Structure formats: C-alpha cells, structure tokens
Structure 1
Amino acid sequence: MNKLNNEALMNISITPPVPLGSYPAEDVTFLLKDLSNVSLERATAEREEAIQSGVHYSEMLPVEYQPTEQYIDLFHETLGQSAEKVALAVAVVSELIVAKRGLEKVVLVSLARAGTPIGVLIKRYISYKYAVDLPHYSISIIRGKGIDVNAVIYMLQQHGLDADLQFIDGWTGKGAIRQVLIEACESFNNKYGIRLNDDLAVLADPGYCSGTFGTREDYLIPSACLNSTVSGLMSRTVLRDDLIGPDDFHGAKFYQEWLDTDVSNVFIDAVCAYFDTAAEDGQPAAEVMLQAPPEITWAGLRDIKSIQEQFGIDNINLVKPGVGETTRVLLRRVPWKILVDTMDNPNLRHILLLAEDRGVPVEVFPGLTYSCCGIIKPLKGETE
C-alpha cells in the first residue's frame, strides 16, 4: 500500500515554480503561484469587516502599509542595535537543526512570509559554518486551511521521499501556526504514508511552544516591522478556489514596483556580518539546550486566555501576542488597544511609535509572558 502511495505521489503533476521575490535565486525558491497581476487588496476597515463576517483572511490581501520616513529610520536604527543579537539567535537555532538533523538530507522549508528571511539567514549560517549549501524553499501555510500540500509533494519529488524537511518560521505568538503544522503533518501521513517531522524552528519563541529556537526573549526582530519590503517583496499568501487550481501552489504577489525601497537583502547582510562572533557563542548555547531540552509549556496561551476573560473577547484570533504580531496588528488590522508588560520596555519603542501614529491606546498589563499584545477591535457586540 505504501509503495503504491509513494509511486503515485512521485507522479503527481504540479505546476513548476517561477522566479519570484527579491532575494538572490540561490538563497530561496518560492513555491508560490504568481498572482502579481490580480487585484486582491482591500482597505483595512473593509478587510477587517470581511474577516469578522466569516471571509477567510487568505482570500484577500491587506493594502501594504508604506512606512513613514520616521518608521524607516527606526527600522535602520533597530537593525543596527539588534543585528548582532539576531545573528546569535540564528546561530543557536541553526546549530540545533544541525545537531538534531545532521546535514545529509535536510531541506529548509520557510513558512511564508515571516519565516522566509529567517530561513535565508539559517541557510547562510550553515553555509558559512559547515560549507554545506542546503536547499531552501518558502511555502504557504494558512490558519484554518493547512499547509500547501502541492509544495510539500514538489519538494519530496525534487529531493526524495526520505528528504528531511525542517520547517522554519520567524517567531511564535500563541502557537496557532505550530498547531496547524502538527495537524498538517498528521494529515499528510494519513494520506500518503510519509511521516514529516513537525518540529518548527523559530528565531524567537516567546509563546513557549517550540523546542527549536534561538531565544525566548520577545524583542523586535527587524524583519517583523516592514512587511513585504523586508520579506523579498512578497505579499502574504493567498488561497482562493477561483485563482488556485489543483496543480498549483498557493498564491502570492511579487511587488516589483517597490524594488527601490526594498531592504530585504540589507537585513540579511547586516545580520550575516556578525556570524563570526555568533558562531563562537551559538554552538555552546545550543549544546546547553541539547543537554537540557527547554520545556514546551504553551505559557503564552495562558496569557491569552486571561486577556480574553478580562476584556470579554470571545474570539481568540482577535488577541495577537508578542512584538511581531502586535506590529502586524498596528500595520494591517483595526487595533482596539495595545497591552504592554511595562511602559519602559526597550523592545517596545516602535510599538509605541506606531500606536501614537494611529491613535491606539496603550495599557499596562502586568505579568505578561510577552512584551506586548495587540487586541483587534471586535466589530460586533463590542463592549468597552
């Protein structure tokens, strides 16, 4: 039975990938259908109403936030301050991947789009440290719809059924994508008899829901704050029946018109410049974690539940924990309020700047696992 499944899987017809994104081709292959010529963007308020009325978020795109000059300056300032810190986290998570998986059969699989810059960095670090050029793809995973199965099959067709797929994301929030990945790997095994490793490697794990991470500190990873212009000029991924056929990958747009303002490779180069020192400190840090594996406690979810209770929020998807997710709430949703652990947390400068810019109230919520949480405005039955 298994052999039949495997043969059938290797013969499934899939539309091959086309060149996409602003990264060098050797850094990443996007397994995404090009929807650049399709009008998918909806204004923030219109999109928010649609999402809360039941339209799936993957069926449309937000209008990409074009950051102010002040915000771009903050990105560069933050990058200058945190590049070394990010490099160390990249080194730690890369060393964990190598220790757990080896280098023979590993294929790096970034979850688009926040995972892509981190996947590029991990690929670059392993090449720098071990002189091994691992294949690296970026694929779509969507809450409520699962992983792009065609993309997974394509990678197995390219690298063999025994390829060891290492999934990568930028950071964890409440662990929703981690859960989707666990379910997707189980479903793939049930259908094709191939067990994928559902370990999710992340740069930062403030949600305490991953076992392979560089840090659990909830700080601003510069790639969290600029959307497409720091993610290879790619949009969020799209899955809509009228656009994506049975042989296609999930879709995305490539915003080539913003090449002049793209800082995707600026971010990568700034972090890679610190690999020398990061490699010295990263390996011993990874060894400590291997000897005493950190607990996966899902502590972040407990925070979310207490916030839901305190503010009377039924829908858990309206609470977005962590610096990365809060940034996204401020950039592309309709925020209600921002909760912070303390007003003088140095990791929150850009959050406070964005909140002020958009007139969003900020409240202290003592005892947060995260540095902050963004709460999206409930549009129906709202109570203050």
Structure 2
Amino acid sequence: MDSNNGYGKKVLKAVIIAVVFGLVAGGVFAGVTFAANKISGTKSSATGSTIQGTAVSTATTVSDVSDIASNTLPSVVSVTNVSLTQYRTLYGNYVQETPSAGTGVIFSQDSDNLYIVTNNHVIENSNSLTVTFSDGAAVPATIVGKSNSADIAVICVKVSDIDQGTLAVIKVSVMGDSNELVVGDGAIIIGNALGYGQSVTTGVISAINRQINTTDSNGKSVMNNLIQTDAAVNPGNSGGPLLNMKGEVVGIVSAKYASTGVEGMGYAIPSSSVTSIINEIMGSKSDGNAVEDANAKGAYLGIAGMDISQSTAKQYDIPTGVYVAKVYEGSSAEQAGISKGDVITGFDGAKVTSMSQIKNILSTHNNGDVVKITISKASSNYETAKVDVKLGGSN
C-alpha cells in the first residue's frame, strides 16, 4: 500500500514537473505581441482629466503580458533631451549637440496640454525636449516642474501641436497603489531602451523599501523606499512605467545597479511617492509658481543656445551673450527672424550673457506674451537688431 502510494506520488510529481516545464517553455517562445486596439477607459488617472479624443488605460487583471502591453503602450512616450556641450581643442572651441534618450508616462490631460511624468535626470540641463508617441509622431515639450531630490519631473506638450490621428491613439495611464505590492508579484517595464523605441521586459517584484545611493548634479543623495525588480532595465528606460499585472503604473523606473557579478537589480520610485510629487508640481502650476526653477507657464523661445564668455568673444571677435546654435523649425524664434549663428545680447529689456538668464526670464512669461529681444546678426557682421517675439506661438 505504502509502496503503491510512493509510486503514485512519483508519477504525480513527474506530471507536475512536465506541466510546469511546458508552461515555461510555452511562455518563452510565445513572446510579446504588440496590439494597437483601442480600449475604452473605465478608471481615472491620479490627477487631472481627459478631453474628448483621448482614452484612459483600463486596469483589469490579465494573465497575458501582450494584453497589458497593448493597453499601456499608447500611454508611454519616448523623451529626447538635446543639450549643448562645449569642447576645447588645440584649434579652438566648438559646440556640439548631445542628445540623450529616456521615457515618460502620460498621466493627465486638459484642454490645452498633455502632461507626462519622467525622471528629472532625463530632462536635466535641457536645451530642447521632444516627445515621441507610440505612433511615431514627435512634438516639442516644455518643463512644468521638477524635483531634483526625488528625481521626478513633469513635462507637457500642447494639445494643439498633436494631430487628431495621434490624439485618437494615445491614452492616459492608470496610477496604481504601490503600497499594495508584495514581493513576488509580477512586474512589467515599458521603456525606450537604448533609444531604439519602446520595448517590454518582464520579471517580478524582488524587494520593496530598498535604499540605494545615487549621484545627481548636486552630489550624492539617498533615495528611500525604492522598488526593486529583476525585469531588465537598460539605458533609456529611465522615466518609464513599472506596471503590475493589472496594467497599473506602480512605479517610475529610476536607476539600475550595475556591478561585477550582479544582475537583475532595477529600481523604481513607488507610485505613492510619484503621485505626491505630481500633485505638488501641478498644484504649484495652478498657483502660477515654478517648482525648483522649472518653467511652469510653458513659455518658450525655440532655440538651443551656448553662453559666450568674454574670453570666447574676444577669441572669435563676436559679442558676449548667448550664441544661437540651433533654431527649431516653426518656433517663435524662427518666425521672428532669429537665425543660427546670431548672438542674443538682450531679452525683455535686460542684458543677457547666459542661457540660464533667458530661461529665468521665460519663466515669468506666459505663452503668447510678446517680448523684445536684442540680437547681433551673424549675417550682417554682428550688427545689432531688435525684434519682437511672441513666445510660444506664431507672430
């Protein structure tokens, strides 16, 4: 009797192993299929509201990662940050544009703007930001507010810059409750890995309330209560969503710990913290105040600029001010006649010598404000000219 029971247990064990192996093998070879089916929203996002033409991602428990991916991809964007780097060589100084890639999550929309949360380090030192949606449409973005210590930033794009076809595709994400996470829960990360476009990786919640040291522009700081996951995290994933198996955003990917012999340690900021920071930023925006030097009002000029010091001005025989390294197509600067190579020396009645000054002045203006800018035109041997510029719109 006991012998028969032992044999039966062995058979049952073998069957279970075979079934588990079949499930694993099937899962490996099944892959992840991206669908573009539009799913009507039934749950509101953490903050803000939606307007007609934009759906809200639904939150339903599913077992197929492809279902979650197809529902969530329209709420995930790629973020391209272009900064300027100055190099000194034996032959003189030159300026080079340096693009970097990250990810963002659409969390709210009103009649004027679409709001996206990402990491602060994704948009740090930005001269220009571009957001690319899931259908490939790319539009300029501006900074609403940011928290350097928490590594969270909110950016926005104008609804008027998005065509109707794209508006019909994109969705507002659903914020979940990171406090409900349990170690071992399934985890999904969507992000702009290596800048190649959106990709999906899967894993589990490996740990909660982890503390790691990160270095930002202000030096070393400690980030508390991070979520650890073994879902693959690569450069470009920063700012992307960590999803639970309901397709809810339970974290924003922020860092990856890399060390010899250590793999599978990605980190995300819990959604409970992210939502709190978003509410603070959006609240300050409503009050007309900037958050940590951000331009909450969204006024923009549309240039990439480089500071011209007195020594550089003397070396190249050009005025001190802000060298216009690039003018973006369709921008206020282009429509006002500002060109690449010009030097901005005055802005809104004040003498300027740095991009930070221009950004500070812009932060006091709204879209549609008209300001007077003094420039030295490269095309006329740097003769001085004054132009009226309508910020954030057409002249």
Class of the TM-score when normalised by the shorter of the 2 chains:
under 0.3
Task: Compare the two structures and name the one with the higher strand fraction.
Answer: 2
TM-score norm. by structure 1 comes to 0.24
Computing the radius of gyration over CA atoms, which structure comes out larger, 1 or 2? 2
Flag the structure with more relative contact order, 1 or 2, with Cα contacts below 8 A and sequence separation at least 6. 1
